[in-house]
Amino acid sequence: MPEPDPTRERIQQLIADHPVMLFMKGDRSAPQCGFSANVVGLLDQLVPEYATFDVLSDQAVREGVKEFSEWPTIPQLYVRGEFVGGCDIVNELYESGELHTLLGAPKGRETAPSIALTPAAAAALSDGLSRAGGDGVLRLLIDARHQARIVVAPSDASDFTVESCGVTLHVDPLTAARADDAQIDVEETRRGPRLKVLLPHASPDAAQGA
């Protein structure tokens, strides 16, 4: 009878304990490679909670999970005990909408949301876009935990555009589903002014600054 493999048993337990388990380099808050950061970004858009394991912290798990899945690269995603794949496959499933279905996540809104900017927020965003230069647009991003941020980034063909106070915001369908009736203002903090995104349809502790 073969000796038990403690590393394999540990990997099996991690997968069994977490409905969505990502073996990656770094962790959710600080990915340590572009491929891991890519998968984290997709999962953040779809599910509020999932588990990660930093393979850089444990060489045995780093090599053992490759043997366990018969997959040679990191990151590796498991959902409800089943191996889904690495970065390329997760991206393909996201683009097709299959990842949304697999995770039980909505595919997004089909119409543009209602978003209101105060004059102060509009001025700040206009100034930021001007300073950024280039061909980027202002994109409002709201993840599955209702954490909001506004970035200057390329537009996407699936984006909705919303205009308020002379400023145009781009939102993807998932953000659109979370952004309806959002209000964007500027608030003063000890570190200076910052944008504040208020999401009336989220829980009070979910509305985040941007």
DSSP 36-93: HHHHHHHHHHH-S--EEEEGGG-HHHHHHHHHHHT--SS-EEEETTEEEE-HHHHHHH
The residue segments making up the domain with residue 156 are: 115-206
Which of 68, 103, 138 corresponds to the end of one domain?
A: 103
* Same domain flag for 25 and 59: yes
Which of 76, 103, 130 corresponds to the end of one domain?
A: 103
Cis (ω within 30 of 0) for the bond into 75? yes
Span 41-92, pLDDT tens digits: 999 999 999 999 999 999 999 999 999 999 999 999 999 999 999 999 999 9
Span 86-109, pLDDT tens digits: 999 999 999 999 999 999 998 888
* Same domain flag for 136 and 99: no
* Same domain flag for 33 and 64: yes
* Residue 110 included in any domain: no
Q: What is the H or E stretch that residue 176 is in? A: helix 173-179
Q: Tell me the C-alpha distance between 198 and 116, whole Å.
A: 10
Structure confidence at residue 190 (pLDDT): 87
Q: What is the pTM of this model?
A: 0.81
Contact 61, 13 (CB under 8 A): no
Span 156-165, pLDDT tens digits: 899 999 999 9
